[in-house]
Amino acid sequence: MDPLIQTRRTFVRNAALSSIMLTTPRLDWLTIDPVETGKRVGMIGLDTSHSTAFVKVLNSAGASADYKGYKVVAAYPYGSRDIESSAKRIPGYTEEVEKQGVAIVNSIDELLKNVDVVLLETNDGRLHREQVMPVLKAGKRVFIDKPMAASLADVVAIFDASGSYKIPLFSASSLRYITGMAGIDKSHVLGADTFSPAVLEKTHPDLFWYGIHGVEALYAAMGTGCQSVVRTHTDSTDVVTGTWADGRIGTFRGTRTGKHDYGGTVYLTSGNVRLGPYNGYEPLLTEIIRYFETGIPPVSPEETIELFAFMEAADESKRRGGASVTLASVFEKVKK
């Protein structure tokens, strides 16, 4: 067992329940089997469908052995307060997870006293830097759902804190594990094209909100090494073309109209691989649990940081009317 977990103060469930809540715990919480210390999952943010999806899978009576007995035992609901599409979900999602044995707490500090690991699910990336700091300070492993932050500067700051507190973390979209991606050897990838919705949210840079799904798939195929991007933009479509240091080309296309869909093509020395369809949250959740168990993130900080630099460079290209923008130039802005 992780020595961090062994040294943490042990809280019995009855003590935890006495300190809770925004509302009185439901009776069905009292009938949930005790969760082994070390496998108690806390959740921050009940404003996204990811929250309820993860709870449903982990807390199911028939949960797969892949999830190693991890259960969500407590949640802090907030969460976006000024993004209407997210904030309005909180009451309903709070009620939904309570029915599955999740205690609702009043603060992140209270949450951290009663859990071993954390899923940071808040839909609003602007809040992630503030919300993750007490988690890292408490020495708890944490997965940060997309977008990891609402700026490249915050992404870098979060990883800096991760290093300072010596708590590895990771962040990813579930599209990193889209059908067809498993088994692709990056050393044989000649290039890739991916697509996803790219619906805009005024509080976030253009691609951070929805386009990140397709960009994540692009990086899952191509790996790091992008040097510059060019973005072509219309009211309904974005096309971002990246040039990697070895001359390879990777392209992301984001759409804002029509049916939402995800996919792409990876070009290999041995032939082409079609990506899609999207196959749900379970592959990502399996990776999260493996990280909770081992402390080894499946995605490197370098790749995640570059992915956000790619999206910020795409925004800068848009501002410059489609000019080529280097990732080095956006990193330089962060340093300043």
Mean pLDDT by 10 residues, the chain (336 residues): 37 31 34 74 97 97 96 96 94 97 98 98 98 98 98 98 97 97 96 97 96 98 98 95 98 94 97 96 97 97 98 98 98 91
Q: What is the pLDDT of residue 245?
A: 98
Question: Residue 260's domain is classified under what CATH number?
Answer: 3.30.360.10
- 253 in a structural domain: yes
Residues 115 and 243 in one domain: no
Q: Return the CATH number at 79.
A: 3.40.50
Same domain, residue pair 119 and 202 = no
Output the pLDDT for position 36.
Answer: 83
pLDDT at 311: 98
Is the whole-model pTM more than 0.85? Answer: yes
- C-alpha distances in angstroms, 228 versus 139, 211, 217, 249? 37, 18, 18, 10
> What is the side-by-side order of every strand in the sheet holding 103-104?
103-104, 71-76, 40-44, 117-120, 142-145, 170-172
Distance CA 43, CA 75 (A): 4
Q: Which amino acid is at 176?
A: R
Q: What is the pLDDT of residue 6?
A: 37
203 and 289 share a domain? yes
Side-chain half-sphere CA neighbours of 139 within 13 A: 10
Task: Report the pLDDT value the prediction gives residue 21, as an integer from 0 to 100.
Answer: 31
Q: What pLDDT, on the 0 to 100 scale, is given for residue 33?
A: 55
Q: Could you tell me if 46 and 107 lie in one domain?
A: yes
- Which of 89, 123, 157 is the endpoint of a domain? 123
Say if residues 128 and 48 touch (Cβ distance below 8 Å).
Answer: no
Domain span at 63: 3-123
Count of domains observed in the chain: 2
Residue 248 falls inside a structural domain: yes
